[in-house]
Amino acid sequence: MELQSEVITTDIFINGEARPATGGGTYDIFNPARPSELVGKAASGTKEDVDEAVRAAHAAFPAWSGLSYAERAAMLRNVATELAADQADLTARSQLFTREHGKIAQETMIELSRIGERFEQAATFGEALDEDERIQGARFDTLVHRQPAGVAALVVPWNWPLAILGCKLPQALAAGNCVVVKPSANSALVPSLTLHRIAAMLPPGVVNIITGSASRIGDPLIGHLLVRKINFTGSVDVGRHVMKVAAQNITPLVLELGGNDAGIICQDAQLDDAAFERMYWAVFGSSGQICYAMKRMYVHESRYDEVVDGFLAKCDAAVVGDGLLAETNMGPLNNAKQLKVVTDMIAQARAQGADVRECGQVPDEELYNGGGYFQKPALVLNADPSLSVVREEQFGPALPIMKYKTDEEAIALANDSEFGLASSIWSEDTDRALGMARKIESGYTFFNDHGPRAQDGLGPFGGFKLSGIGRNMGRDGVLGFTEAHCISAPSGKLI
Ligand code: NAP
Ligand code: MG
């Protein structure tokens, strides 16, 4: 596959077949590092296409849900094997992914490989569900059968489109659902190419893919009467809207929304080069565009200067530029809107007199200043708690660093947020860290690390408060795509 130079066009995929959108419409996707470079054209799906895709999924559902969990697990494992088989194709898709998205090649490769791993995991959690739960009461025997829900609508954002699909697509399939996937308009090419491959390995109608503008296809999908589960990852505002639309049909939903994760660096934290390296990726991986990146850092006052010096040195070594180059460890942001969110927060901090340090190396100044969506890593030292970079989700390469005095104060500061996605505690004392972790209002707490590099996908993932409702991944991730169906009879009949 030659993806480097040609402008590729991706189709929608319905009932086993790739085809252009009804009416043949497409829209353009440009390189975020060089916004005048056209990378590809994605199909502009219509509401008629959405309806056809949902109906294809509905039609495929009886046969797919009629398989045992073990039979589906075997098919999902086969998908994982096939996805890993063609290394040359993987490399080509990884490069195209950097060009359409901006993130560095190392991360696009991780993302493309991780989806196969998630198929393996979902297969394992799924096959255990062939066994009904058996409840023997005084008067009744009850079997709790996990029944596939039906058609699931899966909506993903642009930041890690395939990794995030890996948290819901294989789980929905393992549970016996047929799906319609809507990738984000901002990153649709490689997600589509990859999903088409997956869809083609499964019976027609099991996986259907629609790209295009959310304003045309969003509500027709999530509001469709035949959709029985919605699994949405994205912003709080769109999440609220999705919940309202879902209310029409009482469609159950999972919402994975934003985060403003706190990292707490305790007085007994081990602060060596390896720790600062993990911290760097926890904060600045994908240029900070990770829902559970560390977005607020609270440091015990006795270690504050040491953390700032060590972390600044690490950030100064950041190389910001074209993600295709091996030397680059920070690409551009994905889009102009997201760049503005972050640069506005940095400007507000500066305007209010905060100590803002922009760090990092820029090997190609012409590229950096050439209109691409670049922002070097920025640290806001001793940030005032009222600043927007502290209170809101920056979703970009800016980090406020603040001091605290006691463990109780650190916990209160971490919880002083409308979000509750993830958090981290950096300490050499596991008992202390565990005691603190249990008081933090977030769906995940990491020790001495933070974010995707610290996670294996076996536990359930999701947020408290505005960070969402429900969980993806792990056993819960598969159960979330089922309905519990109790089959009950007088004692002695079923068990
Ligand atoms: P977004 O604007 O909310 O979009 C998310 C997805 O929803 C996109 O595919 C978007 O399509 C689609 N959409 C928009 N309106 C819709 C509608 N009416 N019906 C159905 N779908 C609709 O979010 P984003 O800017 O892409 O992503 C960044 C946000 O996602 C951040 O807040 C980040 O924290 C959050 N996020 C959360 C997690 C998590 O697991 N908690 C993971 C990653 C990201 P278009 O792109 O075509 O508009
Ligand atoms: Mg913030």
Q: Which atom of ligand 1 is nearest to the CA of 158?
A: 26
User: Is the pLDDT reported for residue 373 higher than 70?
Assistant: yes
User: Is the pLDDT reported for residue 377 higher than 90?
Assistant: yes
253 and 126 in a common domain: yes
Angle of CA points 21, 27, 30, to nearest 5° = 145
List, for residues 451-481, the tens digit of each pLDDT value: 999 999 999 999 999 999 999 999 999 999 9
Q: Which atom of ligand 1 is nearest to the CA of 291?
A: 34
For residue 465, the CA-to-ligand 1 centroid distance in Å is 17
Query: Residues 256, 266, 315, 359: which is the catalytic one?
Result: 256
Contacts of 213 (CB under 8 A, 6+ apart): 27, 44, 185
Domain containing residue 403? 261-456
Residue 281 lies in a domain: yes
Q: Specify the residue with its C-alpha closest to ligand 1, atom 6.
A: 157
Q: What is the pLDDT of residue 2?
A: 43
Q: What is the mean pLDDT of residues 238-259?
A: 98
User: Is the pLDDT reported for residue 12 higher than 60?
Assistant: yes
Query: Which ligand is nearest to the Cα of residue 181, counting in written order?
Result: 1
Q: What's the CATH number where 212 sits? A: 3.40.605.10
Mark whether 486 is an active-site residue. Answer: no
Which of 29, 44, 155 to probe ligand 1 with, by most ligand atoms within 8 A of CB? 155
Q: How many C-beta atoms surround the C-beta of residue 273 within 10 A?
A: 10
pLDDT band at residue 4 using 50, 70 and 90 as cut-offs: low
Residue 36 lies in a domain: yes
Q: Specify the residue with its C-alpha closest to ligand 1, atom 30.
A: 234
251 and 127 in a common domain: yes
Q: Specify the residue with its C-alpha closest to ligand 1, atom 26.
A: 157
162 and 140 in a common domain: yes
Query: Residues 167, 178, 266, 291: which is the catalytic one?
Result: 291
User: Is the pLDDT reported for residue 184 higher than 70?
Assistant: yes
317 and 171 in a common domain: no
Query: What's the pTM value of the predicted model, to 2 decimals?
Result: 0.97
Contacts of 168 (CB under 8 A, 6+ apart): 154, 156, 231, 233, 254, 472, 477
For residue 327, the CA-to-ligand 2 centroid distance in Å is 28
Which range is least confidently modeled, 1-10, 148-157, 158-167, 400-409? Answer: 1-10
Residue 495 lies in a domain: no
Q: What is the pLDDT of residue 6?
A: 79
415 and 326 in a common domain: yes
Closest CA to 176 of 212, 106, 126: 126
- CA dist., res. 91 & res. 104, Å (int): 13
- Beta-strand ranges (E) seen in 100-173 are 133-136, 140-148, 151-155
Contacts of 254 (CB under 8 A, 6+ apart): 168, 229, 230, 231, 232, 462, 468, 469, 470, 471, 472, 480
- Quote the percentage of the chain above a pLDDT of 70: 99
- Quote the percentage of the chain above a pLDDT of 90: 97
Q: What's the CATH number where 292 sits? A: 3.40.309.10
pLDDT band at residue 5 using 50, 70 and 90 as cut-offs: low
For residue 235, the CA-to-ligand 1 centroid distance in Å is 5
For residue 162, the CA-to-ligand 2 centroid distance in Å is 25
Q: Report phi then psi at 215, rounded to 5.
A: -65, -25
List, for residues 35-71, the tens digit of each pLDDT value: 999 999 999 999 999 999 999 999 999 999 999 999 9
Residue 1 lies in a domain: no
Residue 51 lies in a domain: yes
Residue 440 lies in a domain: yes
Q: What is the mean pLDDT of residues 182-187?
A: 97
Closest CA to 190 of 73, 108, 265: 108
Q: What is the pLDDT of residue 1?
A: 40
Query: Which ligand is nearest to the Cα of residue 472, counting in written order?
Result: 1
Q: What is the pLDDT of residue 3?
A: 43
- CA dist., res. 416 & res. 264, Å (int): 13
Mark whether 256 is an active-site residue. Answer: yes
Count the domains in the chain: 2
154 and 29 in a common domain: yes
Query: What type of residue is 80?
Result: A
For residue 47, the CA-to-ligand 1 centroid distance in Å is 19
Query: Which ligand is nearest to the Cα of residue 389, counting in written order?
Result: 2
Helix, strand, or coil (residue 484): strand
88 and 123 in a common domain: yes
Which range is least confidently modeled, 2-11, 199-208, 332-341, 403-412? Answer: 2-11
278 and 245 in a common domain: no
116 and 17 in a common domain: yes
For residue 453, the CA-to-ligand 1 centroid distance in Å is 22
Q: Report phi then psi at 182, rounded to 5.
A: -120, 100
373 and 281 in a common domain: yes
Task: Name the one residue in this structure whose structure tokens are 């359930």.
Answer: 460
Query: Which ligand is nearest to the Cα of residue 442, counting in written order?
Result: 1
Closest CA to 331 of 140, 107, 131, 179: 107
Which of 29, 186, 235 to probe ligand 1 with, by most ligand atoms within 8 A of CB? 235
Q: What is the mean pLDDT of residues 237-256?
A: 98
246 and 267 in a common domain: no
Q: What mean pLDDT is reported for the chain?
A: 97
Tokens (6 digits) for 489:
């009879």
345 and 229 in a common domain: no
Q: Specify the residue with its C-alpha closest to ligand 1, atom 39.
A: 256
Which protein residues are within 6 Å of ligand 1, measured from CB?
A: 155-159, 164, 182, 184-186, 213-214, 218-219, 222, 233-235, 238, 241-242, 256-259, 291, 393, 395, 421, 463, 468
Contacts of 28 (CB under 8 A, 6+ apart): 38, 40, 41
Check the CA dihedral 256-217-393-240 and report its sign.
negative
Residue 465 lies in a domain: no
Q: What is the mean pLDDT of residues 308-312?
A: 98
Angle of CA points 339, 219, 158, to nearest 5° = 30
- CA dist., res. 427 & res. 451, Å (int): 17
Q: Specify the residue with its C-alpha closest to ligand 1, atom 21.
A: 218
Q: Which atom of ligand 1 is nearest to the CA of 468?
A: 41
Q: What H or E segment, with its residue span, contains residue 271? A: none
Instruction: Name the CA dihedral angle for 6, 112, 56, 69, rounded to a multiple of 10 degrees.
Output: 160
